[in-house]
Amino acid sequence: MGTKTKQTMKNTTPAIEDTITKSKKRTRKVSEPKPQPALPVGDIEDFQFREDEVKEISTSLLKWYDVNRRDLPWRRINDSDDTDRDRKAYAVWVSEIMLQQTRVQTVINYFNRWMEKWPTVEHLAQASIEEVNEIWAGLGYYRRARFLLEGAKSIVEEGGQFPRSLNDLRKVRGIGEYTAGAIASIAFNEAVPVVDGNVIRVIARLRTISANPKDKTTVKNIWRLAGQLVDLSRPGDFNQALMELGATLCTPLNPNCSSCPISTQCNALLESKQNPSMVVTDYPAKVAKVKQRRDFSAISVVEIMEGEEGSGSKFLLVKRPEEGLLAGLWEFPSVLLNGDEADLVVRREAIDDFLKNSFGLKLNVIEREEVGEYVHIFTHIRLKMYIEHLVLRSQDLCRKKGKEEMFYKYVDMKTLGSMGLTTGVRKAYDMVQKFKQSRSSLLKDSL
């Protein structure tokens, strides 16, 4: 990279804070994550983009995007001749919320089902949280779905028109800086940046930024650099192109530099050619993963037998608290086991106490069997679930009043099959059904 002076810098973007660090040449390659000391920057212009660089990157990236962009349903809506900007903004909003921490291929079917059921923000505002969770089931991070519903209701309450600017969009519950930037640039052509993990990686490699990509100050500075790059005439396409590049070519472990449209502007690639000890994947810095907490829970799939041979049986579902993990979702009765593995006796005692204390259930047990274990992974939690099938005689529930009101309901098998249940709850139910089928087959074989 050539020498630059302040006289050549015409970009008016505010100066990047001096906590981003430039990498230093190393004599050997280290496989462990490298510590990133917060060293002051000697020449901040080394990070900012020159005016000619901005033009080259924008031209090359948009040309590549026009040819290689993936055909996605939300893009079709925005590319259509329809002049309804609200509809386009709504499609961007839904897709971006779904895409957070979820693979694109997974999102496509969910997006199509969602838009078929609620084609506009007005339709969504009339939905219930149960209906929303039913469509969302399996995508995880259910708070995202709740924020979509609450945001839609607030937009309709304010008159029904989608906010047009970045600042107004950020006032909507559940719409943060990233989502607001995506909607503003893609739907309303506002020249604002959008920064996700893909964009952080691309810019870190373009400028050889060696800093913790999770650090708030680093992210803030990347946003400023992204703001320098945004194409003024096609901001939405440019932002999508930058994210698309990171998702398809400039990947974390195996970047396809030979096909990259902006490889000639990439300092990380240039550095790797000049110094064999350096590789493109050194950028951004490797961050040690947060150690997952290990939790254990007892799950009881409670079936209440009402008719002969179980013809009228129903299942007991309990609603989780409105705050915290999986807030407001329905599940089978479950008890957290104080962070430790527990034997069968302890697990059953915990479930019995929960059912008696919460609902006054008399445990007139017809059948009780352990059906298996299942490990469900959340972002920072590894939850091991011990699953049992508990069949009780028909009885009235007498919900006991405590500090927190416990919501519950009985549902039949047909209703249960159509509900929007979490992956863990669905897995517990499927394990019970598989166990019952297996036992039935064994009984037939023994006759």
pLDDT at 29: 41
Q: Specify the pLDDT at position 399.
A: 57
- Please tell me the distance from the alpha carbon of residue 266 to that of residue 264, in angstroms, as a whole number: 6
Angle formed by the axes of helices 216-229 and 197-206, nearest 10°: 80
Q: What was the pLDDT predicted at 270?
A: 96
* 254-293 CB burial, b ≥16 within 10 A, e <16: ebebeebbbbebbbbbbbbeeeeebebbbbbbbeeeeeee
Distance, in Å, from the CA atom of 168 to the CA atom of 166, rounded to the nearest integer, reads 6
Single pTM value for the model:
0.80
Which positions are catalytic? 96
Print pLDDT tens along the chain (447 aa).
Answer: 444 433 333 333 344 444 444 444 443 343 444 444 333 333 334 689 999 999 999 999 999 999 999 999 999 999 988 789 999 999 999 999 999 988 999 999 999 999 999 999 999 999 998 899 889 988 888 889 999 999 999 999 999 899 999 999 999 988 999 999 999 999 999 999 999 999 999 999 999 998 999 999 999 999 999 999 999 999 999 999 999 999 999 999 999 999 999 999 999 999 999 998 999 999 999 888 888 889 999 999 999 887 655 457 899 999 888 777 787 889 999 999 986 678 899 999 999 999 988 887 778 889 999 999 999 888 788 899 999 999 988 776 655 555 455 688 889 888 887 787 888 898 999 999 898 888 777 766 665
Closest alpha carbon to 84 in 191, 169, 160, 152: 160
Say if residue 181 is exposed, middle or buried (CB neighbours under 10 Å; 0-12, 13-18, 19+): buried
Whether omega for the bond prior to residue 284 falls within 30 degrees of 0, making it cis, is: yes
For the chain, domains (ranges, CATH) are 15-26+34-282 (1.10.340.30), 293-446 (3.90.79.10)
Backbone angles phi, psi at 369, to 5 degrees: -140, 140
**pLDDT for 391:** 92
Q: Name the nearest CA neighbour of 152 among 140, 164, 160.
A: 160
What's the pLDDT at 218?
92
The three-state DSSP-derived secondary structure of 60-74 is HHHHHHHHHCCCCHH
**How far apart, in Å, are the Cα atoms of 132 and each of 113, 147, 317?**
11, 11, 18
